[in-house]
Amino acid sequence: MRIISGKYKGKRLVAPKKLPVRPTTDMAKEALFNILNNRFYFDELKVLDLFSGTGNISFEFASRGTEKITAVDAHQGCVRYISKTAQALDFTIKTVKSDVFTFLKNTPEKFDLVFADPPYDFETGQFLNIANLVFENKLLLEDGLLIIEHSDQTSLSEHPQFSEQRKYGGSIFSFFELEEK
């Protein structure tokens, strides 16, 4: 995996092979960040990266100037790799070893952007539960955004806060926003 832009543009990161991960492809990540670049100032964001795996998304935000990043993963090896790499690159990424659903139920924090990249073999209900917990627990700040990455075999468009989806190869990013009041 590589960092696409920012302070460490072009830097290749090699995660241990034994980690149970499927990093977002460079093509999909570049397309996603092009969308986000038109919507946000990265240095003003507070980001939550769920099922963070190798930290691919967290490192991209950090390289672009985001300083408030929380990366959550249940696998100790993933959390250790993100922490070690963040320290080496002088990134301020807070790592949390936790089940994502438990974290979402218990965190008092609010975020501008929540990105979730759960296993593609989740049932549709599990994907929707991520969105439900984010909105039920009011984890998004005003004008906040939830993005869930999933395979093209899954559709999340039935969720009431669903706003759009973008397809890149076999990956889809579904976007969710607070309803206009």
111-119 average pLDDT score? 97
Higher pLDDT, 63 or 27: 63
Q: Is the pLDDT of residue 179 over 80?
A: no
Q: Is the pLDDT of residue 89 over 90?
A: yes
Sign for the CA dihedral angle at 81, 64, 104, 53 comes to negative
Q: Is the pLDDT of residue 40 over 80?
A: yes
Confidence category of residue 84, pLDDT binned at 50, 70, 90? very high
Element (H, E) at 27: helix 26-37
pLDDT tens string 127-173 = 999 999 999 999 999 999 999 999 999 999 999 999 999 999 889 99
Residue 149 contacts residue 173 (beta carbons within 8 Å):
yes
Higher pLDDT, 109 or 1: 109
Higher pLDDT, 56 or 19: 56
Q: How much of the chain, in percent, has pLDDT values that exceed 70?
A: 99
Q: What is the pLDDT of residue 181?
A: 44
Q: Indicate the DSSP class of residue 43.
A: G
Q: What is the pLDDT of residue 180?
A: 59
pLDDT tens string 5-19 = 999 999 999 888 888
Q: What is the pLDDT of residue 19?
A: 83
State how far the alpha carbon of 111 is from the alpha carbons of 42, 44, 53, 57, 141, in Å. Answer: 13, 11, 19, 15, 5
CATH H-level, domain 45-177: superfamily: Vaccinia Virus protein VP39 (3.40.50.150)
